Amino acid sequence: MGYTKRNLLLFILLSETIISMAFFGSYEDNFINPNIQIAYAHNFTPDESASFLAFVEQLQTESELVQSNLANNNVSLAQVHANKAAALLTPNITEEIAEENQRVANDLRTAINSLQNISSRPLEQQSVDLLVNDIDSILGDAVTTRIEQEQ
């Protein structure tokens, strides 16, 4: 009996030691080292509407960068951004827009092609400004037709 009583006593002592190390170890980490923080995370699933809105923002940014660089007489950088804008408008995105409104898809493709052409030849800044405004307007139509009102 003495042997099992001793084993039980050792087991309880070892259990309490492990529990206290776990408790006080995390307690000390949080209070002694303020750089250690507990982080909670959530994985979000991809959403087509969010992806489309991200595309719209990127295309608007690239077209505005074309406008800005042409205003600063940096034609080569304007051409780089015009090419990025054209690369963003993939056939899949054009098809996606065309499913809802073919005219908007055609107008957007035409405007982006014009943006590439406008950045490769000198034009008045007013023409560039009008084209970028047209692109913004067409993208607004694309968002209206592509994304449901509730979203």
pLDDT digits (tens, 9 = 90+) for 28-57: 445 555 555 566 655 545 588 888 889 999
Domain CATH number, residue 88: 1.20.120
Q: Give a yes or no: residue 151 inside a domain.
A: no
Q: Give a yes or no: residue 84 inside a domain.
A: yes
Q: Give a yes or no: residue 75 inside a domain.
A: yes
pLDDT digits (tens, 9 = 90+) for 107-141: 999 999 998 887 556 567 778 889 999 999 999 99
Element (H, E) at 115: helix 102-118
Q: Residues 132, 67: contact at Cβ < 8 Å? A: yes
Question: What residue numbers bound the domain in which 23 lies?
Answer: 1-41
Number of domains in the chain: 2
Q: What is the pTM of this model?
A: 0.65
